[in-house]
């Protein structure tokens, strides 16, 4: 139970940090929010997946 809470906190923190970093990218590139939002989502899920322990106890 405790690992799940830690992983959720890590995923949420990663999402917030990446979102904060990519927000100015939208203005700089002149693109709409949709492609940047997709990029943020993919990056957040990748970081979450990469930080998951690889089996074992």
Predicted confidence (pLDDT) per residue in 12-28, tens digit: 888 888 777 766 766 67
User: Are the beta carbons of 43 and 17 closer than 8 angstroms?
Assistant: no
The pLDDT value recorded for residue 32 is: 76
Q: How far is CA 50 from the centre of its chain?
A: 11
For residue 52, is pLDDT > 80? no
- Residue corresponding to tokens 């930080």: 51
Residue 57 tokens read as: 């106890």
Note the pTM of the prediction, 2 decimals. 0.47
**Beta-carbon count within 10 A of 40 CB:** 20
* 5 pLDDT above the threshold of 70: yes
Closest CA to 17 of 43, 46, 53: 43
């Amino acid at each position: 139970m405790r690992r799940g809470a830690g992983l959720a906190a890590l995923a949420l923190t990663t999402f917030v940090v990446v979102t904060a970093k990519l927000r100015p990218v939208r203005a700089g590139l002149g693109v709409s929010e949709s492609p940047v939002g997709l990029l943020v989502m993919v990056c957040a899920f990748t970081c979450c997946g990469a930080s998951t322990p690889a089996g074992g106890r």
